[in-house]
């Protein structure tokens, strides 16, 4: 280590911290401790509410999809029943018409 | 991992406040900012106290976080676009503090003009008396990079000292009988 480096070592010796620094750190630490617990509970509550909202929304969405699907199925069944009825009616008419022609 | 060491936060503050404050002060050049950084570093230590395994680990952790927080603070200042020294003088109206050693004080001022990685490496070398390997571990950088920062930083600081500290050179020359 040369002379300049020795000078640097002397120049860069640690400086004493301000006398009030330790008290401020300890005061902040004390004031933070209960706050951090309060923040933790607030965060947990927020997460819980958000989870409930999301799962509720998802359940409602699923139920709505099922309801719409069931309604569409009923409509299709009704349409099939009407078609079936119309075809039966037509079939009966054709059969009656055929019998009349044979006579 | 279980460890037997029981940290005493207040004792850690007592032992290391000077080190953390000096690192922050010399990295930022701003006394107020250095106090804020030192506070933040110790409060963060308090949050991570359960992960600290020994007194040496605490010291290593504090050095590392002090340098890192100081670098963050400098970057934030750069983003804000304010020149550090102009801001200190204009907003805080600070007068230069009386130096214990005027040469030491001027060397500190010159150190503040070096690029940030070189400044950090030189501080850890000459303030904390760490080896390049220890500095590399603290800064999480390759040893070769640290050695390069040390060499370049020292060269630059020497050149700046030769230009700006004429009386220093004259004193040395006089002492050598040149």
Q: For the residues A17-43, what does the mean pLDDT come to? A: 85
Q: Which residues of B30-41 are buried (b: 16+ CB within 10 A; e: fewer)?
A: bbebbbbbbbbb
pLDDT in tens, A63-103: 999 999 999 999 999 999 999 999 999 999 999 999 888 87
Q: Which residues of chain B have pLDDT under 70?
A: 1-3, 79-102, 167-178
User: A25 to chain B, minimum CA–CA distance in Å?
Assistant: 6
- SS3 at position A12: coil
pLDDT at B163: 83
pLDDT at B83: 52
CA distance B78 to B84: 8
pLDDT in tens, B65-96: 999 999 999 888 876 655 555 454 445 544 44
Q: Which residue from B35, B43, B103 is facing A18, i.e. has the nearest CB?
A: B35
CA distance B69 to B77: 12
Does the interface predicted TM-score (ipTM) exceed 0.95?
no
Q: Which of B18, B40, B47 to mutate to test the interface with A (most CBs of A within 10 A)?
A: B18
CA distance B96 to B93: 10
Cβ contacts of B39 on chain A, cutoff 8 Å: 21, 24-25, 28
| Beta-carbon contacts of residue B14 (< 8 Å; ≥ 6 apart) | A22
Q: Which of A2, A4, A6, A8 to mutate to test the interface with B (most CBs of B within 10 A)?
A: A8
pLDDT at B173: 66
Give me the phi and psi of B130, to 5 degrees please. -90, 155
Q: Which residue from A5, A13, A17 is facing B38, i.e. has the nearest CB?
A: A17
pLDDT at B84: 53
User: Touching check for A19 and chain B: CB below 8 Å?
Assistant: no
Please identify among residues 67-106 of chain B the ones whose CB lies closer than 8 Å to any CB of chain A: 101, 103-105
User: Touching check for B158 and chain A: CB below 8 Å?
Assistant: yes
pLDDT at B162: 85
CA distance B143 to A61: 58
């Amino acid at each position: 280590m040369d002379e300049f480096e020795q000078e640097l070592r002397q120049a860069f010796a640690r400086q004493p911290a301000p006398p009030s620094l330790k008290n401020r750190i300890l005061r902040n630490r004390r004031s933070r401790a209960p706050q951090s617990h309060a923040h933790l509970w607030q965060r947990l509550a927020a997460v819980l509410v958000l989870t409930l909202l999301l799962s509720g929304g998802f359940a409602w969405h699923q139920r709505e999809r099922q309801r719409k699907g069931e309604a569409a199925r009923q409509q299709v069944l009704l349409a099939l029943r009407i078609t079936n009825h119309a075809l039966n009616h037509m079939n009966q008419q054709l059969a009656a018409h055929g019998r009349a022609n044979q006579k | 991992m279980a460890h037997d060491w029981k940290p005493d936060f207040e004792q850690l503050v007592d032992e290391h406040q000077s080190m953390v404050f000096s690192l922050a002060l010399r990295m930022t050049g701003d006394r107020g900012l250095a106090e804020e950084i030192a506070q933040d570093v110790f409060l963060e230590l308090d949050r991570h106290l359960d992960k600290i395994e020994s007194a040496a680990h605490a010291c290593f952790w504090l050095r590392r976080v002090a340098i890192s927080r100081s670098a963050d603070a400098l970057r934030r200042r750069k983003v804000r676009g304010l020149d550090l020294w102009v801001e200190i003088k204009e907003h805080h109206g600070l007068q230069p503090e009386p130096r214990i050693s005027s040469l030491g004080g001027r060397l500190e001022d010159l150190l503040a003009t070096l690029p940030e990685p070189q400044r950090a490496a030189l501080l850890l070398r000459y303030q904390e008396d760490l080896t390049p390997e220890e500095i590399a571990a603290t800064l999480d950088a390759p040893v070769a990079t640290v050695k390069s920062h040390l060499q370049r930083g020292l060269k630059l600081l020497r050149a700046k000292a030769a230009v700006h500290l004429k009386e220093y050179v004259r004193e040395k020359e006089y002492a050598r009988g040149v």
